[in-house]
Amino acid sequence: MRLRVEFTTEPFDLDEAPRHAVVARETVEAAQLDAVDVGPFGNTVEGGADDVLGAVDALLRRTLAAGATRVSLQVNVIGEDEA
């Protein structure tokens, strides 16, 4: 199964990226995912279910430890793995 996850971390800071946002970016960029799009108001990652779910686990643990007070995410099934 292939998944797409869209997520944001809070609190926002329009002047500079908060530590939790930097940690989120580092976490998803280091993961073995097929696509990573990091933006100022939202982030999207795609890949196989095991890789995406592992990255989400790390994302939640690391961003909360880095000061995030809220992590919002949406998970969508976008297809099946190729055989």
The domain limits of the chain are 2-79
CATH 3.40.50.850 fits 2-79, yes or no: no
pTM of the model: 0.90
Residue 83's pLDDT is 54
- Could you tell me which residues come within 8 angstroms of residue 57 by beta carbon, excluding any fewer than 6 positions away? none
Of 77, 78, 72, 76, nearest to 7 by C-alpha is 72
Read off the amino acid at residue 58.
A
Nearest-angstrom CA–CA distance, 45 and 36: 4
User: Which is more confident, 61 or 82?
Assistant: 61
Residue 14's pLDDT is 84
What pLDDT digit, counting tens, does each position of 23-73 carry?
999 999 999 999 999 987 889 999 999 999 999 999 999 999 999 999 999
Mean local confidence (pLDDT), 12-23: 92
